[in-house]
Amino acid sequence: QVQLVESGGALVQAGGSLRPPCTASGRAFSRYAMTWFRLAPGKEREFVPAISGTGGNTNYADSVKGRFTISRDNAKNTVYRQMNSLKPEDTAVYYCAADFLGGVSQAQREYDYWGQGTQVTVSS
């Protein structure tokens, strides 16, 4: 089991950037694929990015491809979500999640552990 703690939520102007982290407790962080899903008001959770345990594979939603980059530092048990060129439609609560021995799935059901979520608000 792993516990995920997110930080870095903020209010930012359109066009700005953020790099929120998600930090895991426990062992064997490199065996977990990591992701973020986001939840906007009135919508279902939406896949954003994912990264494999070693960082060798990544996956991105079409809506953020070219703007967001997911990376990880396994020595720090931390994954980072670099967000550039932020748009008002990026406004959501972002939830970090982990999949033991997983790939880079876009399916919510594949992820076993979830962080508490952080609010990102992008003003127009």
> Of 61, 63, 62, which is closest to residue 49 (Cα–Cα)?
61
- pLDDT the model gives residue 98: 97
- pLDDT the model gives residue 26: 87
Q: ∠ CA(68), CA(70), CA(73), 5° rounding?
A: 150
Q: What is the pLDDT along the chain (124 residues), one digit of tens a residue?
A: 899 999 989 999 999 999 999 999 989 999 999 999 999 999 999 999 999 999 999 999 999 999 999 999 999 999 999 999 999 999 999 999 999 999 999 999 999 999 999 999 999 9
- pLDDT the model gives residue 35: 98
